[in-house]
Amino acid sequence: PVRGRYVCIEALDAIDGSDIAAIAEMYLLDNNGERLSREPWTVMYADSEDTEGANRSADKIFDLQESTYWQTAQGVEFPHTVVIDLGSSRDLSGFQYLPRMDAEVPGAIRNYKIHEAFIKRFNEQGSVYASAGRINLIGEHTDYNGGFVFPGAIDKVIMAEIAPNDTDKVRVYSIDIDDYAEFGLNEADAPEASWARYIFGVCREVHKRGGIVKGFDAVFAGNVPLGAGLSSSAALESCFAFALNDLFNDNNIDKFELARIGQSTEHNYCGVNCGIMDQFASVMGQAGKLMRLDCRSMEFEYFPFQIDGYKLVLLDSKVKHALVDSPYNKRRASCERVAKRLGLETLRDATMPMLKSIRTDITAEDYFRAKFVIEEKERVLAVCDALNAGDYETVGRKMYETHRGLSDDYEVSCEELDFLNDIARECGVTGSRIMGGGFGGCTINLVRKDLRDKFIETAKSKFNEKYGHEPKVYPVVISDGARIVERAEKKETDEK
Ligand code: ADP
Ligand code: MG
């Protein structure tokens, strides 16, 4: 038996092409080891979008009476020890029972894969760290207007095993890219590979802030889709920033500063002029909670996101229109013009009556841009109230309103995203909107559990019919942000 807060068994061979990640029998035990549940639960976790397919294949193999998707880990800590018993009566051939099944959240990548590569390369044991990608529920184009964003960390992470190596060099292997980099810690030592520059940048930014950085060995991998709007780069930066804080700085660097370290890394070493939201969410995220971040004061507050009857599903249109820069800058300029006309620093303090009072003095375009920003700020606040009341139908309605605003008033949507939004509405999905800057990318959908599979099927086939390819589907669960997954056992030589 394997004990742990969450335990995951991975089937290495997908069956019927579906990725079954975990099948096992699970008993709940109390602290004395007594069984609390008489019958074992048959537990299955499918790390694929096709939970139904996975379910079917599992049925076929095991003739399951009942299967439980063990995907409810979002925020719900199992109160008791979980014991996995690989039901000996069942034929588990085709499944590999993996000894290191202590992934914190089902669906997170398993650290055994990383550990295997780490041992092979460096012949030692390190500590394992992880940090997450993110979604933003609502609050779009509000950051540069001093407004609110509303992100949360997701169950897709970058995970790294890291050990100090007593040199002044960093040696790091990326499993996913299958590439190795070695670099020093001085400004002149920047590596060529773009993935390695994220890590180098984090080292430099920690150093610039007076933090300690020494040489280390690392192996990392991730399951945050790259460039899909879920911020894999922030997950990467946050994972290493968190690790350097833990390994060399006694965790003395403030967590918000870790987010700033990631942001500065993008600015100074990766040529991306991003805001703070992605790194903030990646570092500070908590399972079952979203965060409202005030982009003016940088104050933030957690709100419950316990969507028992719902699921969050992202649909990636896989289209990217226009060079985003110039339309983005134009919208920014509109907002600045209107704020200035109102005698304000940003649109944060503007209201609709104020905007209406200057309507004839500004262009129609500027008017609608500002209208969106003002309404979006109010929508975020309305969503906060709704979350506190557990009213997800209102949350969903606000998401649709945001989509409409982004499409009609801010004009950053595109045909494909509007099409996905229409399908969501037709299917009776609770909430749906563009996520991110617009002109392509994903929609984020809040969908009732019972509608989920049908919605995904419909969206895939209708989109495919019209645009010749299916949108990619990413189910997400709001999960913990930066964290230590496993601490290396102390080496004897460390004691001196
Ligand atoms: P995103 O929107 O996902 O943040 P970016 O272009 O900002 O997209 O960041 C993606 C880059 O981050 C990749 O090109 C790569 O350099 C790095 N990266 C992200 N995930 C991984 C990974 N699993 N392994 C190696 N590098 C990664
Ligand atoms: Mg990025």
- Distance (Å, whole) CA 62 – CA 472: 30
| Residue 188: count of CB within 10 angstroms of its CB | 5
> What would the two tokens of residue 388 be?
């506190």
pLDDT score at 323: 66
Please check the confidence at residue 83 and state whether its pLDDT lies above 80: no
Closest CA to 447 of 416, 418, 426, 469: 426
Choose the most confident range, by mean pLDDT, from 66-70, 88-92, 465-469: 465-469
- Give the pLDDT band (50/70/90) at residue 429: very high
Judge whether 74 and 85 are in contact, CB under 8 Å: no
CA–centroid distance, residue 231 to ligand 2 (Å): 4
| Residue 397: count of CB within 10 angstroms of its CB | 17
- Distance (Å, whole) CA 430 – CA 489: 47
Cβ-in-10-Å burial (0-12, 13-18, 19+) of 66 comes to exposed
Atom 14 of ligand 1 has which residue's CA nearest to it?
A: 195
Torsion of CA 357, 361, 364, 370, to 10 degrees: -50
Per cent of the chain over pLDDT 90 is: 63
Atom 8 of ligand 1 has which residue's CA nearest to it?
A: 227
Radius of gyration of the chain (CA): 24
Chain segment 53-78, per-residue pLDDT in tens: 333 333 332 322 222 223 322 222 23
**Closest approach atom of ligand 1 to CA 221:** 23
**Closest approach atom of ligand 1 to CA 274:** 7
CA 189, 194, 195, 199 dihedral sign is positive
CA–centroid distance, residue 131 to ligand 1 (Å): 13
pLDDT score at 492: 58
Atom 15 of ligand 1 has which residue's CA nearest to it?
A: 195
Phi and psi angles of residue 86, each rounded to the nearest 5 degrees, phi first? -80, 55
pLDDT score at 324: 61
Torsion of CA 242, 247, 253, 256, to 10 degrees: 10
Tell me the best of 224, 236, 318 to mutate to test the pocket of ligand 1, counting ligand atoms within 8 Å of each CB and taking the most: 236
Judge whether 137 and 277 are in contact, CB under 8 Å: no
- Distance (Å, whole) CA 215 – CA 355: 55
Chain segment 99-154, per-residue pLDDT in tens: 222 333 333 345 567 877 898 999 998 998 999 999 999 999 999 999 999 999 99
CA–centroid distance, residue 478 to ligand 1 (Å): 20
Atom 23 of ligand 1 has which residue's CA nearest to it?
A: 222
Instruction: Give all strands (DSSP E) within 150-201, no chain letters.
Output: 151-164, 169-174, 179-184
CA–centroid distance, residue 360 to ligand 1 (Å): 46
Instruction: Give all strands (DSSP E) within 6-147, no chain letters.
Output: 20-29, 41-46, 68-69, 81-85, 127-136
**Closest approach atom of ligand 1 to CA 231:** 4
Q: What angle do CA 46, 108, 275 make, to 5 degrees?
A: 125
Chain segment 199-232, per-residue pLDDT in tens: 999 999 999 999 999 999 999 998 888 989 999 9
- Distance (Å, whole) CA 365 – CA 279: 32
Please check the confidence at residue 32 and state whether its pLDDT lies above 80: no
Using CB distances shorter than 6 Å, the residues near ligand 1 are 158, 174, 176-177, 194-195, 198, 221-222, 224, 226-227, 229-233, 236
Please check the confidence at residue 82 and state whether its pLDDT lies above 50: no
> What would the two tokens of residue 7 be?
């335990």
Strand partners, 149: 293
| Residue 426: count of CB within 10 angstroms of its CB | 12
pLDDT score at 113: 72
> What would the two tokens of residue 432 be?
């749906």
Q: Which of 64-68, 266-270, 478-482 has the lowest mean pLDDT?
A: 64-68
Closest CA to 68 of 36, 32, 44: 44
- Distance (Å, whole) CA 361 – CA 189: 54
- Distance (Å, whole) CA 185 – CA 201: 10
- Give the pLDDT band (50/70/90) at residue 491: low
| Residue 163: count of CB within 10 angstroms of its CB | 18
206's CB contacts (< 8 A; 6+ apart) are 212, 213, 241, 244, 245, 249, 253, 261
Residues serving a catalytic function are 278
- Give the pLDDT band (50/70/90) at residue 493: low
| Pairing label, strands 41-46, 68-69 | parallel
